[in-house]
Each structure stands twice: as structure tokens, then as C-alpha cells.
Chains A and B, each alone.
Chain A
């Protein structure tokens, strides 16, 4: 039994199992499809936010509690760019796509720069000292949240969406929101790109080797610190991208967004196992699907469901579903 399951994909089948169980419980295929698409889209956006955190931890044993600051900054920057280019959004699909691309690029660019700043100024002095890492990144998170409040104010900001992402496709009695499909596709592309870089390039080889044994990579003469800052910057940019996508998904964002997403992101990386992007994707999809199914079946439990999922998985596999070798 175990062998058959392992050959079929082992823990990778969990999202499918959850979806199948939900199908039985929900009963109505059309709402099941809608919920599944929403869950997958949410999972993909959370994956964008969480992948950087997981890789940074795997590579350098650094856990950045301030990671969610990149998410909220990404969301607010994208919202600002989209609002500033409001005219383009209604001026035809080409211009609208350009505006959206500019917003996402602006968010990622900010993520890159902020990631570089964070790594060199905040995190570098406290390598290998977990207690101070937690404290100092927490301090940075406080400052970042206050900066957002100072710049954008405490009132909710509405996020305009390009016209071609509004609305839904109706197939039979099933409706699929276009934005969700877009978020899922974008997440899939990023995952594919990350997977290809990590598994098919020399750079990815070095990163994976660094995750497995940092000292050995260093001893072989590679500058692991440069590698690390690169990964940190890329991870921050991905978090900002995830935040930007999330802003469009929610359409109304508040400064509390970062703190809310931080919990989800943490649960995802714990479930997935720190250090591997496959694990993160798995965790993100599981969390996204469970959150949406439970939100439909038992709305009161929706927010506790992630927590229960985490407890269940930690009891079963204390270091997450697919941790990197450590």
C-alpha cells in the first residue's frame, strides 16, 4: 500500500485527496469547481510570497520575520501605480496590460532593492543567532508597517483592475473568475521558472548544494554570501509580486494585509518543510484549498482551519511534508 502510494507521488497527492474529499462533502459540482479554482489561485499567490522565505531559510538558516513587509509594500506600490495609470486601464487591452505589467514590475523592483537593503543592513550582522534574528527582523517589520501607515494612511486603498481581468468565464453552470485563472497561471509560470533555475542551471546547482551543506560549498571556493544575497533579493521580489497580485485579488487593501498574510505564509512554509520550493508549493496549495473549502462548509472555522491543518501535519511529519535535506 505504502509503496503504491509512494510511486504515485506520495505526499504530492495530498491536495488531490483534499479536493476529492471536499467534492464528496460539498456535493454540488459547480460550487466545487469555483472553490477549487479560488483555492488554487490563492495557493499560487501564497506560494509566490512564501517561496523566498523558505529558500532563504534553507540556504542561510535565516528566518526573516519581516518578510511580510515586502508583501504589503508590493501590494501598496502596485495599487499606487495602477491608480496613477488609471486612464490606461480603460484605454484598451494593450494599454491595460502594459499598466498591469508596469505595476507588477514596480513592485518587484522595489522588492529587489528592499531585499538588498534588508539583507545588508538588518540581517547580515545577526547571522547564526536565531534569537537576535527573530528580534531584529520583528523590529524591522514594526518599522515597515509604520512606514506604510505614514505613507498611505490607515484607510483602505482600493485597487483598480485592468478591464480584461474583470468578470468571469461561464462554462455550463460553472463560473471561473478570470483574475483567479490569471493568478494561477502566473504562479505556475513562476514555479516552473524557479524549478528550471534550481534544477537545470549551474546557479541552481550551487543554491541546492548550499541548502544541503553550506560549509562544503564555501570550502570548494564559491562565494556563498553573494549567492545568498541574490536569493534574498529574488525572494523579496517574489514576495512583492505575490503582494501585488493579492492586492488585485482583494481589490481593497489595508495596512493589516502584511500581518494577515504573514500567518498564512508561516503556516505554508512550516507545512511544506523549510528550504524546498516543491514543499512550499505543496503547502501553499493545501492551505489555499482547505481555506476555501472550509470557508464554504463551515465559515466559522475558516481561519482556524489553517492552524488545524498545520497541527495535523506537524503531528504526522514534524519537519513538514517535503523538507530540504539538512
Chain B
């Protein structure tokens, strides 16, 4: 980590720059949009997108704690996400829908994540960053294989379908008028779907604020010190391995909670939604595109990428049809190839804007 200083700037340290204000304003707008999402965008797909954005903001922010604040590159983050999701899924199926299943499942997911994270951390956080990356990659792939092998518990490739607690069922009426019909606010029926969305939104908000608070605490400063110069942090008297392991466990636990929340929302858990390597790549893209080492970057990255996932494909299929007569080009513009273009954008960003969108904008004001 010799050149880690070039990766992430020192946001907020120099006080408020114009760029920082712009970024925070953008995040506030996003937050407001998410808060009123069910009322602003009244179709099924939009609310799916909004919930996914909420969960991924938490997931990406917890990953940012690792990569941006501490300089640890882990490829096992989806594994922890998946542990939380599978905990809720397995128990919801075994015990039937209910809050006890959700809480117990989430607790089990968090516990397993913590044990695994502690083991991996103590075993391999002493070694070079590169070893750690390789070891987490290997662990995550084994977890993926195990999930598909033990299909009697995990449903294998098909995953598990189950029902959420009664409160979140679309048939649940939150408020009823005199005739017993569901009350509508601004044309939106106040049913279980809304309750589920606000459950996702509020838990994500809580976790995000918790992490934000953490990065501004003395602990956050120690983490940045470790990232900038490990040897010096050690020499000053901080136990680097202990701090690293702690952060690794913390971000694993938060990822597991995010997984549980997402499992409650989706009412389905399978390798594609919770465990696959594709999600890890998404997280990586989000954190780098948004900007490492700034919690705000996680918000921006998650919003941009989830939107791209859902809406860029439509655009690309239109483009693909438009160039249908040319060789290879339609193949490259095929909506399934959107990752190709994102990958290229990703490489260019790492070259030219290593601080990502948020980091670059925040630094802009500082020069004045």
C-alpha cells in the first residue's frame, strides 16, 4: 500500500469545500428521492429498483469501510451478504413466516459471518494485501460451491422461496377507511408492500448513519492512519492486526444484516441474488465508480450502477437493433454485454480518476 495516498483523498479534513457541499447535496437529494420513492415513482419496477438501491448503499458502504478506509481488498463480501440472506431464508422456510424466523435467521447469519471473518482475519490479515485478496477470493468461491452442493438446505441453484412476516404481505392493510378499504395517499395504496419498503429504507438508513458516524469517530482516524502508513501506525502504538480484524468483522456483520433485509424484501434467496461472484463485481464497480474512502461515494456509486443495471439494458437493446446490419457490433451492444462497457469505464476510472466520482468532485472545491 505504498501509494495509497493517491487512491483516496482526505475528504472533510480541510472543512467544507464547494465540491463536498455539492456531493452532500446530491446525496441528500438521493435520500429524499428514496424516502418518497413509493409516492414519486408509482410502478412495480421502480420500487424494486429503490429497494435494491437502499440495500446496495449499505452493502457498498460497508465494503468501503474495508477498501477505502482501511485499504483491505476482500472478495468475500458477497459471502457475508449471502450468509445473512440465507440465514433468514432457511429459517423462514423451516419455521414458517414470522418475525422470530427473521430475527433468528439474521442473528445466525451475523454469528456465522463473525466467526468466519474472525478466522479469515486472524489467519491472513497479517500477510500482504495481495495474499488477502487471493485468500478471500478462494473462500468466497468455496462458499458458493457449498451453497449449491448442500441443496437440501439451500435449494441449490434454484434458491429458496418463502414468505415474509404478515405485516409485509401485499394483502395487509395498514390503514383502513370506514368501508374497510385500504386508504390511499397520493394515489398509493397503504398496503404491506409499502411497509416492506419502509422497513428496507429505515434499516438501510440506520446502518448507513451508523457507519458514517463510525468513520468520523477516532476509530475512523486510526483506520485512515493504517491505510496511509501501516508501519507508522504500528510504531505509534496501534495494534494494526487487531484494528484490521475488527473492521473486517464489522463490515462482514453489516453486510450480513443487509443480506437479511434484502432477503425479507425479495422473499426469495438464491445464488444469483445473494451469493454469486457477479454481485461482488457489482460492489467493486460501485465503490470504485462512486469513490473510495468517502461514504458518500457509496451512495452515488450504488445509485448509478443499480439504475444502469435496470435501465441501461433497454438503451443497449435499442442501440443493438439500430446497428443490426454490422458485424460483431450488435453482439457487443447486446444488452447482456453491459458489463463489458462498465468494465472499460471501470478501468478508465481507476487510471484517470482513482478517487471516483465523489472523491474527484470533493477535491475540486479544495483547490480554490
Contacts and interface: CB of A to CB of B under 8 A. Distances in A.
Interface stretch (B3-11, B102-110, B230-238, B243-251): B3-11
Contact of A136 (B3, B127, B351): B351
B146 interface: yes
Contacts of A125: 351
B337 A131 contact: no
A266 interface: yes
A134 B133 contact: yes
B145 A304 contact: yes
Given A139-B346, A315-B123, A300 B1 contact: no
A142 B281 contact: yes
Interface residues of B, number: 48
Interface stretch (B31-39, B136-144, B182-190, B205-213): B136-144
Contact of A135 (B127, B138, B328, B350): B350
Contacts of A28: none
**Is chain A's interface secondary structure helix, strand, loop, or mixed overall?**
helix
B137 A139 contact: no
Given A135-B284, A266-B137, A304-B146, A146 B346 contact: no
A318 B125 CA distance: 11
A297 interface: no
Contacts of A311: 123
Contacts of A240: none
A306 B337 CA distance: 32
Nearest to A125: B351
B94 to A, nearest CB: 22
A147 B344 CA distance: 11
B217 interface: no
Contacts of B133: 63, 65, 134
A310 B137 CA distance: 13
Interface in B110-145: 123-124, 126-131, 133-135, 137-139, 141-142, 145
Interface string A133-147: 111101110110011
Nearest to B140: A263
A60 interface: no
Interface string A247-281: 00000000000010011001101100000000000
A78 B67 CA distance: 38
Interface in B317-368: 328, 331-332, 334, 336-337, 339-340, 342-344, 346-347, 350-351, 354
Contact of B142 (A139, A300, A303, A315): A303
A168 interface: no
Nearest to A256: B277
Nearest to A304: B142
A194 B333 CA distance: 42
A314 B123 contact: yes
Contacts of A142: 281, 339-340, 342-343, 346
A223 interface: no
A259 B331 contact: no
B37 to A, nearest CB: 30
B149 interface: yes
Contacts of B127: 318-319
Given A259-B277, A306-B138, 7 more contacts: A134-B129, A136-B351, A139-B343, A142-B340, A143-B340, A304-B145, A307-B142
Interface of A: 57, 63, 65, 122, 125-126, 128-136, 138-140, 142-143, 146-147, 149-151, 259, 262-263, 266-267, 269-270, 300, 303-304, 306-307, 310-311, 314-315, 318-319
